[in-house]
């Protein structure tokens, strides 16, 4: 699937570019524990970790391709394919639960047909995440990496209407 250009209404991700990926990897490879910062940088830029990045990362860090693939697979937040729609990550940790996130998840399903963690279609992919670190602004979420705070059914309706 071709990705939209950066700034497209669907996402803020760039289309996969091996040269740009190699530059991101090169800039971080000397950092202690460089694998995770590299993977986060790639995902932030492209929305996923392309298979073509695996040998580049492995060579840069002097690790096996299997180790690189293992790290990507271990952390559920890393994607191996581009998201088809904007990704709305709803925090369902304790603070957000206390502030009503479960009623927001139910609202998304009942009003908009968006079922968390099902990839069922609709305007967004809705994923569960446990703790965004925005506990003081619960219930919280992230839309394609941008934090959302103090969500209400009305703010979710407005977000979806604007998609």
Q: What is the pLDDT of residues 51-104, one digit of tens each?
A: 999 999 999 999 999 999 999 999 888 999 988 888 899 999 999 999 999 999
The candidate with the shortest Cα–Cα distance to 86, out of 127, 53, 54, 139, is 127
Q: What is the pLDDT of residue 58?
A: 98
Question: What is the structure's pLDDT at 64?
Answer: 98
Residue 156 sits in a domain whose CATH number is 3.40.30.10
Query: Taking Cα atoms as reference points, which of 20, 22, 2 lies closest to residue 11?
Result: 2
Nearest CA to 123 out of 163, 81, 83, 82 is that of: 163
**Are residues 91 and 157 part of one domain?**
yes
Give 3-state DSSP helix, strand, coil % of the chain, rounded to 5: 45, 10, 45
Q: Name the residue range of residue 123's domain.
A: 87-161
Cα angle: 38, vertex 125, 94; to 5 degrees: 80
Between 35 and 5, residue with greater pLDDT: 35
**Nearest 5°: CA angle at 76, between 131 and 46?**
95
Confidence of residue 12 (pLDDT cuts 50, 70, 90): confident
| 61 and 92 co-located in one domain | no
Q: Are residues 123 and 157 in the same domain?
A: yes
Domain identity same for 67 and 101: no
**Count of domains observed in the chain:** 2
Cis peptide bond N-terminal to 155, omega within 30 = no
Phi, psi of 107 (to 5 degrees): -60, -45
Residue-wise pLDDT tens digits, 90-144:
999 999 999 999 999 999 999 999 999 887 778 888 999 999 999 999 999 999 8
pLDDT of residue 1: 29
Terminal Cα distance for the chain, rounded: 20
Question: According to the model, what pLDDT value does residue 11 have?
Answer: 56
Average pLDDT over residues 12-28: 94
CA angle 85, 73, 94 (to 5 degrees): 70
Q: Is residue 3 part of a domain?
A: no
Q: What is the pLDDT of residue 3?
A: 34
Half-sphere exposure of 104 (CA within 13 A, CB side): 29
Question: Which pLDDT value is given to residue 5?
Answer: 37
Q: Classify residue 36: in a domain, yes or no.
A: yes
């Amino acid at each position: 699937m071709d990705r939209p250009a950066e700034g497209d209404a669907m996402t803020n991700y760039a289309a996969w570019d091996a040269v740009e990926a190699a530059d991101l990897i090169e800039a971080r490879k000397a950092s202690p524990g460089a694998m995770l910062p590299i993977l986060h940088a790639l995902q932030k830029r492209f929305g996923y970790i392309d298979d073509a990045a695996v040998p580049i990362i492995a060579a840069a860090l002097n690790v096996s391709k299997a180790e690189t693939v293992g790290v990507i697979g271990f952390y559920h937040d890393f994607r191996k394919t581009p998201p088809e729609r904007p990704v709305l990550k709803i925090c369902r940790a304790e603070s957000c639960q206390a502030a009503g996130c479960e009623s927001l998840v139910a609202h998304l399903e009942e009003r908009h047909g968006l079922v968390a963690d099902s990839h069922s279609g609709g305007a967004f992919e809705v994923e569960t995440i446990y703790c965004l670190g925005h506990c003081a602004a619960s219930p919280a979420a992230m839309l394609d990496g941008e934090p959302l705070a103090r969500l209400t059914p009305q703010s979710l309706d407005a977000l979806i209407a604007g998609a």
